[in-house]
Structure 1
Amino acid sequence: MTAIDDWTVTNAYGDDPVSEAVVRAVAAATDRSVADLRPLYYAVDSDSLDRLLEGAGEPSIRFDYEGCHVTVTETHVRVSATDDAGMSTSR
């Protein structure tokens, strides 16, 4: 994972399930433990998320989770700060 100045973490998740990569990326972006985050299913159906990105085309899914904007593509998870996360969206 790579931390970027505007509090964006990009994770190339490889063979891991997308849902697990999302939780790890949000934990890294917010400097929290994975165990400290609410379950992902409060924000999105994680099974559907995993299956949707296995399909054809170049899907992109966006949702909010734990005070973060999350964008998931076929190969990456991008996490960026929201105003309600207590941080500015840029530094």
Structure 2
Amino acid sequence: MTEAPFSSRSSDGRTWTRDPADHPTPTDAVLSALADAAAREKIDLPPLYDSVDPEALDAVVGGPGSAAVQFEHVGFLVTASGDEVVVQRADGDR
């Protein structure tokens, strides 16, 4: 499977956005955005379940107009909804 490209990246390098429709699950979209932001492979990130239950994330963030979930993981603030996944640096560092 080919990795989906950035949906967008802010000019200040602090925010990454992914479209969940480009991924099989919301969890995959979150992991892809986090990997982009951290400049790491998804497999090299700490387990997502350290911060959020991936099954619950997929259930709550199920499609356009669904609820949004926000949490911190590996120094980034993640906001996931059925419309987009936004990852921002949580600490203010570049």
Fold shared per TM-score above 0.5 = yes
1:3 to 3, 9, 14: 9
- Give distance in 1, aligned partners of 2:17 and 2:90: 16
In the alignment, which residue of structure 1 is the partner of 2:37? 29
What's the secondary structure of 1:27's corresponding residue?
helix
What percent of counterpart residues are identical? 33
After superposition, the CA RMSD in angstroms is 2.0
Superposition TM-score, scaled by structure 2 size: 0.81
Aligned 8 A contact 1:62 1:70 in 2: yes
Q: Which has the higher contact order (CA 8 A, sep 6+)?
A: 1
- Residues 43-63 of structure 1, C-alpha deviation per residue, up to 9 Å, x if partnerless? 100001101122795411100
Deviation at 1:74, TM superposition (A): 1.4
More strand by share: 1
Gaps of 5+ in 1: none
Aligned length: 86
One-letter code aligned to 2:49: Y
Gaps of 5+ in 2: 1-5
